[in-house]
Structure 1
Amino acid sequence: MTSLSILDLSPVPAGGSAAQSLRNSLDLARHADTLGFTRYWLAEHHNLANIASSAPDIMIGQIAAVTKNMRVGSGGVMLPNHAPLMVAERFKVLEALFPDRIDLGLGRAPGTDHVTSIALRRRQDVREDDDFLDRFQELLLLENNGFPKDHPFSSVHAMPNDVTLPPIFLLGSSDYSAQLAASIGAGFSFAHHFASHDAADAMRIYRERFQPSQHLAMPFAILATAAVVAENADEADHLASTIDLNFVRRAKGVYAPLESPEVAMAYDYSPADRERIKENRKRLSVGTPAMVKERLDALVETTLADEVMITTMLYDHEARKRSYTLLAEAFSLTAAHAKSPA
């Protein structure tokens, strides 16, 4: 049976507030915890008016405190924005408070625009090149006390030092993170909801090149994808129009709060806009519970994903909750599915 999880960006609707969106995430997490979802991951984005999820480590603690069944984690911490020691200590604290329930998902992108990424890192050694691998290796060395004795960091210990880091997942939208996750024996989560790279190819590379580690003996791959479920196909399509408009705006560099389906349906789309929507819908599962289950089952068969993680960016919070409820029912989830190990 396919395990299902949730990726939450705390979407901000037009006319709403980011503060309420964060509270909506707590409400959705409580609800999902009773439905049988395996994980609840929080994203990291900055300087975007339509996304309130900017501090996943804080939200992980809040959500873990009000749930009991699901694993809770980051999808992900954008490592270029953070000193590895801070990441290690924050997630060790979370693991200490909620043992065996925390996941550490790490991303390579900054999760924002170039100027904001500089503002995030201005007190660190800002580099123009990609230093994700350097930061990731530093994180592992801190965890394993692997610095040589003559290295300045050999005496630095991520506290609490009697707690290990939670399971590490590398996030990616191409084959780069798939290869890296395989080489160090970590879990892998592929961002099918926005990637142009073929998901099946990335998953195949990850499995073929996986090297067992002290943390993970076998490859474990999560497919993150977008879905909208409603009682009938017309209603699902209506709700998904919010995503259509959001995607068109993003392509033009506009990250406005999510509009209602009514506003989205009335929008004056150009032929190019409609072509973008058509292409994006290929990555989006929309319809009745049976329709979406069939689509997700096909994705699992193609990618051999061990788990599917669903993101649902809707204008109406109750519609978003209902979408996840219908999805859980379609897959016959129960609370017993939660806390599945990586």
Structure 2
Amino acid sequence: MIKAWFDALTAKQARIAAVLSLESRQEDIDFIITCRNYDYVEEVLGMFGLRYECVGRHGESPRDKLAKGIERQLALLDVVKDFDVHVSLTSPDAIRIAFGLGKPIVALTDTVHSRFVNKLTLPLADSIIAPYAIPMSEWARYIPSAEIDKVRAFDGLFELMWINRFRPTGESIGRLGLRSREFAVIRFEEARASYYDYGDKSRLLIRIARNILERGYYVVMFPRYPYQEEMIKSELGLFLRLGKLIIPRGMRLDGLDLSWHARLVITGGSTMAHEAALLGTPAISYFPQHYYIDDYLVSKGLPLHRCVGDDCMDILESILKSDIEHVDTSNVVSKMEDPTGLIISEMRRLVDTSRK
């Protein structure tokens, strides 16, 4: 029996933890799952019926991030007392603990732009698993040249781990009282992440949401921070009162089910846009930096669109005027590589090596 520890900091990472935990049971691997009290992490873990313990919170200013990180590391030491291998999408707190305890580390990453996190984590990892779409030269910025061969590339993206296991049911849109294609899903940017220094884009998103609402669509919005939710209530309060705008809380909705049935998905990050495009739903990402995974998906002909600033309104217009509401992506997606097996095999290899 192998005891693996996964630390989930975001909803995306919670999905990775869920897939690995469920798939590893037949591999004689038992997962300990910890998380940070942030965003929709606990909702996702709860949706899969997993046991977990949330420790600590997300810092905002550089000093606050440092203080919260140190506090969280000390707290995690009391929670995770015995494990054979650590896996995470570059959790600085967890990887520091695993390194300090001499445990092997599998780091998953697709965010080459997350400079501070990568500097703190990738040099300490024993194995790094990343999409092939990201050039090896990008990882060389963080990893000593003598260790670059510890990067294991796969021809796909992490979102395939749950896209390949998803079947639309309509249950989540039913809970919201919505019908397929009559609504858009909107997700705010990660404005206070360590890598995000592009200025607040909330005003742009409010404009986009208003445009969609005035066309008669419903909108489901997912703010990341309290100030974003307050802005929605202040600027779009009438639509909230009319029931045309929805901010779900505590409903354990399946984001994939929402994306599958949506007319359009818009996000300031990447995960929801990638999920939607893989499912065949038109998606817009207004993340203001070049992203290799976006290029990869667009090159495959998937319905992902990039924009910065006012050109988002032009792209929005063209999508909503189009008769194409959904694309069959099954043939394209079937040719991509799901990294689940690679992650599990790397965990087992590192544990076997450490036990010799």
User: Which category describes the TM-score, using the shorter chain as reference length?
Assistant: 0.3 to 0.5
TM-score (normalizing by structure 1): 0.38
Larger RCO (alpha carbons 8 Å, 6+ apart):
1
